[in-house]
């Protein structure tokens, strides 16, 4: 074994390590104080008559803050001792830095925590100076413990024995204690580090029983860090027997025989495992596998107890929390199914209890209930539970990767149901509180973001095992649909495009594209039209007006579906397109969110361009049926809601993929011409110079006419004459300026074309249309100067030309 490093200072390192009830490392010491500041503080303490209590307190706080940098003398200790009963929590840590200077006895009025700290510090300093001699000290201690000696003077002579007696007194109710803070646990830790085996067992038993009675998660976290410190010290000082004794004292057999409350035992086991892992890496040690197996058995025993009792009661929740948190610290342990289930339960119910908080915010709407919920949310955000959600997600994924098929299915089901619960309650909460309790929504969003990340990271892990053909479980495409459904439920919470999210979606979409059953499962999960247009069924929302397109959470979910559907539309049966996809697509075609309307157009385009050998005839008929409603809905909302690019792509898909000469194509052409006429009429009223600036115009009427001109070279040959007829009629109805502008556009389009089939026809058609336009203008300008017969002759010529067109 490598030579161990020097022992740390007696009290400050451990007390500082245990001060925070989180797993974050202790904060660095403050910048070194100036000598003047320290001298001034000591000066104020030397002359209390010239200083007010507040000044003396400020001096103590200064010394306490910089205690790591101080070296106390006997004179300093003499100044501090009278202040110990008045300010025990400030003075005791200062005195603990120099325990060899402490008096033989401590004031009787000293509270439990500072007393334990000072006794432990004395014990630790004494053991470092005069190590116990083994059997003789052990027998003497056993004699003292068995003889019933309790005089305080004798206890102070043996600080380890004094600590043991104090803990037994607390355990048996002789002294009351509501909590074991970092000072008390630091003192107990030093006493355990200094005790012989008999004392060690007695103190450890009392400690575990007292912690179990307190039932505080902060105590559990500190126990883990305390045991880690102990085991590291035992390893470094080659006291492996104490490590074995510790693990024996927290074994499942001992837990049952002693009747321990399990949460401090689990944290002790995790702390011991963490110390072995760190020591193994730091000193390149190979421990006996049986040594590591002992605390792992304790963890498995506690997890089995949790799973056996099902949904934990209030007194068992802390055990779930401790198993879950402890596993983030101890490194990888052997897979055990109840452990995986316990981690899953802890993560979803205790660390990220988002559905429960959302439900509480919706159900409690009377009086100051929102403030109560907000306080609970903020309290959770500051807790160690929330801060460890990320590491626990990693632990869950690690254990999941070693699980069998049934265990994997259990965890997957829990997470997918968790995502659906989030959607249900988040939708109601946003509808209820948006604009009224925005600060509550903001607070909840922080937990919601962590929940989203957890779902994404877990789903990415699932894809590695379920959606890869080479995996042990084999390719399971139905899982792809479940992943996509879960992502749709939490889509509203997505703030960043994570690599894990992108990869999980990619793999799920690829799996969908290759499996019709998975696609059907995905489409069946889409909300129905009735669900989309009805508000959530919560009593607190009764009587409120529901506006479906302002439902933010639902809109985000539907947007996710609309983005995924085009990737697999070819495998969706025609009846599901009609019953599910079309209803959502047409409802959202006129949504106020441009992303939603653009996605709806993309769905239509992908459907029109798709094929399916199984039901090709049904799909063709359905396509033609849907086009009529699609064009009607799109043009109703253009301009304004309907994006032009979406409309243009939809029209292009219609003329490219619908059978030639279809009535649906003719309806599309006619509807566009009518819309163009209406838009031009509106634009002429608003802008008198419309036709003079036509070439640079960005008006909707210009865009619509440009689309019609592009169709000249896209429509099938059977629909081609109908398009030319509609355009000719439209042009002849325009004023002279409008006719000239459109004819210039048409000439430019035809001139640029390399379509050798249509170009000759179009040249002739344009010549005729230009002639009609010129004749119509001349007829108008000379109508008063010509007689009736010449006018009739002109009109007859025009009619013949129109017929030829």
Worst-scoring range by mean pLDDT, 120-124, 126-130, 455-459, 675-679?
126-130
CA–CA separation, 423 and 429 (whole Å): 10
Cβ burial, residue 605 (10 Å; 0-12/13-18/19+): buried
> Who's near 404: CB < 8 A, 6+ residues apart?
337
89, containing H or E segment: helix 88-96
Mean pLDDT in residue range 438-460: 92
> Who's near 135: CB < 8 A, 6+ residues apart?
none
pLDDT at 12 over 60: no
Contact 247, 297 (CB under 8 A): no
**What average pLDDT does the chain have?**
85
Contact 627, 654 (CB under 8 A): yes
pLDDT tens-place string over residues 582-594: 888 888 888 888 8
Contact 591, 597 (CB under 8 A): yes
- Residue 544: how many CB atoms within 10 A of its CB? 11
Instruction: Give the pLDDT band (50/70/90) at residue 631.
Output: very high
Cβ burial, residue 141 (10 Å; 0-12/13-18/19+): buried
Ranges of each domain in the chain: 12-24+33-127+157-195
Return the closest-CA partner of residue 125 out of 23, 300, 7, 41: 7
| pLDDT of 801 | 44
Instruction: Give the pLDDT band (50/70/90) at residue 432.
Output: confident
CA–CA separation, 186 and 168 (whole Å): 17
Q: DSSP characters for 536-552?
A: ---GGGTTPPP-GGG-H
CA–CA separation, 211 and 487 (whole Å): 41
Return the closest-CA partner of residue 275 out of 226, 320, 308: 226
What are φ and ψ of residue 196, in 5° steps? Answer: -80, 180
Return the closest-CA partner of residue 545 out of 557, 533, 554: 533
pLDDT at 740 over 90: no
Q: Which residue has the tokens 């000290």?
A: 137
Q: What is the CA radius of gyration of the chain?
A: 40
CA angle 316, 321, 327 (to 5 degrees): 130
pLDDT tens-place string over residues 651-688: 999 999 999 889 999 999 999 999 999 988 888 887 77
CA–CA separation, 127 and 481 (whole Å): 64
Its sign, for the CA torsion 732, 734, 739, 745, is negative
Q: DSSP characters for 392-408?
A: HHHHHHHHHHH--HHHH
Q: What percent of the chain has pLDDT over 70?
A: 88
Return the closest-CA partner of residue 515 out of 477, 559, 572: 477
Q: Residue 639, preceding bond cis, omega within 30 degrees? A: yes
Region of residue 270 (left: phi > 0; alpha: psi -120 to 50; beta: else) = alpha
> Who's near 580: CB < 8 A, 6+ residues apart?
523, 524, 526, 528
Return the closest-CA partner of residue 202 out of 223, 171, 232: 171
| pLDDT of 504 | 92
Worst-scoring range by mean pLDDT, 39-43, 119-123, 366-370, 671-675?
366-370
> Who's near 673: CB < 8 A, 6+ residues apart?
708, 726, 727, 729, 730
> Who's near 553: CB < 8 A, 6+ residues apart?
423, 426, 427, 430, 431, 492
| pLDDT of 739 | 84
What's the token pair of residue 543? 């009587």
Confidence (pTM): 0.85
Q: Which residue has the tokens 């052990």?
A: 138
Contact 284, 2 (CB under 8 A): yes
CA angle 715, 720, 726 (to 5 degrees): 110
Cβ burial, residue 499 (10 Å; 0-12/13-18/19+): exposed
pLDDT at 370 over 70: yes
What's the token pair of residue 233? 């010290």
Instruction: Give the pLDDT band (50/70/90) at residue 109.
Output: confident
CA–CA separation, 623 and 605 (whole Å): 10
């Amino acid at each position: 074994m490598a030579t161990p490093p020097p022992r740390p200072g007696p009290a400050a390192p451990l007390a500082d390590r245990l001060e925070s009830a989180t797993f974050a490392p202790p904060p660095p010491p403050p910048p070194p104080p100036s000598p003047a500041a320290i001298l001034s503080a000591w000066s104020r303490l030397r002359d209390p008559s010239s200083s007010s209590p507040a000044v003396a307190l400020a001096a103590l706080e200064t010394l306490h803050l910089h205690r790591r940098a101080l070296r106390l003398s006997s004179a300093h200790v003499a100044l501090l001792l009278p202040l110990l009963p008045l300010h025990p929590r400030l003075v005791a840590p200062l005195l603990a830095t120099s325990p060899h200077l402490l008096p033989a006895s401590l004031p009787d009025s000293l509270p439990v925590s500072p007393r334990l700290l000072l006794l432990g510090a004395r014990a630790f300093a004494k053991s470092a100076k005069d190590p116990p001699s083994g059997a003789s000290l052990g027998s003497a201690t056993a004699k003292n413990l068995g003889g019933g000696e309790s005089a305080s003077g004798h206890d102070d002579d043996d600080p380890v024995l004094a600590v043991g007696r104090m803990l037994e007194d607390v355990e048996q109710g002789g002294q009351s204690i509501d909590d074991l803070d970092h000072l008390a646990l630091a003192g107990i830790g030093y006493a355990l580090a200094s005790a012989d085996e008999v004392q060690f067992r007695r103190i450890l038993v009392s400690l575990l029983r007292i912690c179990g009675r307190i039932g505080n998660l902060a105590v559990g976290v500190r126990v883990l860090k305390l045991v880690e410190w102990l085991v590291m010290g035992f390893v470094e000082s080659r006291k492996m027997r104490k490590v074995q004794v510790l693990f024996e004292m927290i074994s499942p057999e001992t837990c049952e025989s002693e009747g321990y409350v399990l949460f401090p035992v689990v944290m002790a086991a995790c702390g011991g495992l963490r110390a072995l892992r760190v020591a193994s890496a730091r000193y390149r040690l190979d421990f006996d596998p049986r040594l590591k197996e002992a605390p792992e058995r304790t963890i498995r025993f506690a997890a089995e107890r949790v799973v056996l009792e099902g949904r934990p009661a209030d007194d068992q929740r802390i055990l779930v929390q401790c198993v879950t948190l402890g596993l983030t610290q101890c490194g990888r342990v052997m897979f055990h199914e109840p452990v995986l289930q316990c981690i899953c339960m802890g993560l979803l119910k205790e660390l990220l209890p988002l559905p429960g908080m959302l439900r509480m915010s919706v159900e409690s709407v009377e009086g100051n209930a929102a403030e109560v919920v907000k306080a609970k949310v903020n309290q959770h955000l500051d807790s160690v539970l929330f801060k460890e959600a990320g590491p626990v997600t990693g632990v869950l994924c690690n254990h999941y990767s070693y699980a069998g098929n049934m265990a994997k299915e259990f965890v997957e089901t829990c997470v997918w149901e968790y995502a659906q619960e989030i959607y249900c309650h988040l939708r109601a909460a946003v509808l209820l509180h948006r604009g009224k309790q925005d600060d509550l929504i903001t607070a909840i969003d922080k937990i919601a973001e962590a929940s989203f990340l957890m779902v994404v990271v877990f789903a990415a892990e699932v894809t590695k095992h379920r959606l890869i053909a080479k995996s042990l479980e084999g390719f399971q495409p139905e899982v792809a649909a479940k992943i996509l459904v879960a992502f749709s439920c939490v889509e509203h919470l997505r703030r960043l495009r994570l690599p894990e999210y992108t990869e999980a979606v990619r793999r799920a979409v690829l799996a969908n594209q290759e499996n019709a059953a998975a696609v059907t499962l995905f489409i069946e999960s889409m909300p129905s039209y009735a669900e989309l247009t009805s508000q959530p069924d919560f009593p607190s929302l009764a009587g409120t007006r529901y506006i479906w397109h302002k439902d933010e959470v639902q809109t985000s979910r539907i947007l996710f579906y609309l983005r995924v559907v085009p990737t697999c539309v070819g495998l969706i049966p025609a009846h599901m397109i009609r019953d599910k996809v079309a209803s959502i697509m047409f409802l959202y075609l006129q949504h106020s969110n441009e992303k939603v309307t653009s996605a709806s157009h993309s769905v239509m385009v992908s459907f029109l361009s798709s094929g399916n050998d199984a039901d090709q005839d049904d799909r063709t008929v359905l396509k033609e049926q849907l086009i009529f409603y699609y064009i009607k809905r799109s043009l109703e909302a253009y301009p304004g809601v309907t994006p032009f690019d979406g409309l243009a792509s939809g029209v292009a898909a219609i003329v490219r993929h619908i059978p030639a000469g279809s009535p649906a194509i003719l309806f599309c052409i006619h509807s566009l011409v009518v819309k163009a006429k209406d838009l031009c009429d509106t634009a002429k009223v608003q802008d008198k110079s419309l036709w003079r600036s036509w070439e640079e115009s960005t008006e909707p009427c210009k865009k619509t006419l440009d689309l019609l001109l592009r169709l000249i070279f896209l429509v099938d040959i059977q629909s081609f004459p109908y398009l030319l007829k509609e355009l000719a009629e439209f042009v002849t109805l325009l004023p002279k300026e409008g006719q000239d502008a459109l004819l210039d556009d048409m000439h430019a389009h035809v001139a640029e074309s390399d379509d050798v089939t249509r170009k000759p026809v179009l040249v002739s058609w344009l010549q005729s249309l230009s002639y009609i336009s010129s004749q119509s203008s001349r007829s108008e300008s000379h109508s008063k100067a010509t007689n009736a017969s010449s006018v009739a002759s002109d009109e007859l010529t025009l009619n013949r030309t129109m017929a030829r067109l």
